[in-house]
Structure 1
């Protein structure tokens, strides 16, 4: 039996190496952390220096804009709906949400929050109308905003307040720590001194590394009932301690840990197919061909975020000054 398991593990490792990362663009003067891949041609990205990029040909060519008045701000997440319409969130005080309807040429400030301590981390949309933003806790409550009109207006979340744990926060590393489901339901993951799965009804402790401001869950990916969480310790980015957890949405407390975890801290995770996953971080990129139980390192290059096309097969990665795609 042990020999058979070893053979299977080796085969999985070999198939992982057939996947590789291909650079699409370098030399970008921005740390890119927001990413939205609508189809195999249309890609939006955002990052530091008020930067937003758009490609309509699968990443071969790019249009770049620096939003006036936001040259020193960081757009840590972006959500796009078509070639013309997109939304970005600007972290830290004041918290801003901007929207474009002309392909990024001009931006309308649709929401501003000047509350002391406001820090928007991530955003997700269940459909073209209904979206959610999550931010670091204020007055010991998780910061949540929702929209019902495609991001034209935003309101405080109307569900029951969610109490934050001491030292609990949400990382603005890739804009992927919250999933907005239908009917105002969401699943989010946190980090810091504690690390939890949060839903409107439950808060469940995650078996991930925790106890420091830089530890915990950074990213969540969902495919039907399957969920994968990655993270670790940003300041120790080659450590594999508590950096990945697997579970089902229908059984959120029945955790599984990988037999071979990703090879370090990871800030982004995404399903390639129902059984294949990819994750990325500052110390490299890993893939798994068995629902996250065994991970193979395919690149030591640093990337912040990875996303699969919502209507296609393309998988795009973005990082500090560069954009790439997965060849598989």
Structure 2
């Protein structure tokens, strides 16, 4: 068999299909108006999008990113808002990292913010929030050997730490506050919902956290991802029913494709590595529909159209986080130096 001719034939057959797929996904760069490192992103609708970042900065657009209104929250000029959850054009919750750990809420479009949660415990570092309706959870790095977990049932107005059932951490295990997406609801309603939390560092694991705070020792899985250093491990988790995707890698080696993606098609019982992984370290992953997913990192954006088993690049522009409008078809991205991207999600 002449392998060179076979490969050439396959290229002729497959390349046009790949190019056609790539052309469906066009990312345009919006003018945010400010050079801020952005890791928080939330889009309640196609028109309304919020971002948050360092130096106490939050921005909001109500016209699909044509114009952004910026707010620097008083008293938080030296703080970093690593995650944001927006419910509409007026109401949003932001999370400030490091000590003291704090969560703030606005009901007037960002003009005024109220502190709704504070914890000054030494070593507190909040990593991510996840909401489904008015129910939400925030997770933080281990304190005294246990991850910090708190819940809200009223849209972030009040928060209740989940003592005494916070999950135990292994030595060197922590969460990444890279995109606010290492926490994700995985199944059921309030009574049966589990929050999936992925970790990294010297140990990379998946923790399933029952919302009602019951004991979870048996609900922890070690992940076959790149791990062993403070910069390695899982960064982001997404789910479509029983289909789960995890991405990560080593953020000090943006081009490294080793151990950067895992797939489960049966609700976490088994994990597989993709045949064609994303093109480097990835900090965020998101299902677009039951078959298609998108992921981003420091060196670009990739899309999969087969449940995560094969990925192809659609952009070499780096972003920290990607989110699709909860009510709509616009996909937004946010990253370093105030970069905000926008993409229309075209299924066919």
More strand by share: 1
User: Which one of the candidate residues 300, 313, 318 is aligned to 2:329?
Assistant: 313
CA contact (8 A) 1:84 1:100 kept: yes
CA distance in 1, matches of 2:247, 2:66: 30
Of structures 1 and 2, the one scoring higher in RCO (CA 8 A, sep 6+) is 1
Match of 1:227 in 2: 244
Q: Deviations over 1:218-271 (max 9, x none)?
A: 0111122211111100000100000000113x4313112111100000101111
In structure 2, relative to structure 1, the CA distance for the partners of 1:285 and 1:162 (3 Å cut) is same
Indicate the residue corresponding to 1:156 in structure 2.
161
Equivalent-residue separation in structure 2 for 1:226 and 1:10 (angstroms):
28
Give the alignment's TM-score, normalised by structure 1: 0.94
Which residue, 322, 325, 328 being the options, matches 2:342?
Answer: 325
Q: Could you tell me which of 270, 280, 300 is aligned with 2:316?
A: 300
Tell me the residue number matched to 1:283: 299
* 8 A Cα contact 1:16 1:287, kept in partner: no
Distance 2:170 2:94 in 1: 28
2:212 aligned residue: none
The Cα of 1:149 is off from its aligned counterpart by 1.5
181, 184, 202: which one aligns with 1:193: 202
Match of 2:272 among 256, 266, 272: 256
Q: 1:290 Cα deviation (Å)?
A: 1.1
How many residue pairs were aligned? 325
Determine helix, strand or coil for the equivalent of 1:28. Answer: coil
Moved more, 93-102 or 8-17: 8-17
Q: How far apart in 1 are the matches of 2:14 and 2:161?
A: 47
- Structure 1 residues 54 and 26, CA gap change in structure 2 (3 angstroms): closer
| Structure of greater Rg | 2
Q: Which portions of structure 1, spanning 4 or more consecutive aligned residues, are displaced by more than 3 angstroms?
A: 2-12
Q: Which runs of 5+ in 2 are unaligned?
A: 1-5, 210-215
Cα distance in 2 for residues equivalent to 1:147 and 1:20: 37
Give the TM-score, by structure 2 length.
Answer: 0.89
Deviation of 1:11 after TM superposition, in Å, equals 5.7
Matches within 5 A, 1:2-13: 10=15, 13=18
Q: CA RMSD in A?
A: 1.8
In the alignment, structure 1 residue 39 sits paired with structure 2 residue 45: yes
Q: CA deviation at 1:302?
A: 1.2
Please state if 1:61 is matched with 2:61.
Answer: no
Q: Give the 3 Å change call, closer, same or farther, for CA 12–199 of structure 1 in structure 2.
A: farther
Structure 1 stretches lacking a partner, 5+ long: none
Which of 220, 227, 240 is 1:203 aligned to? Answer: 220
Selected match of 1:145 from 144, 150, 154: 150
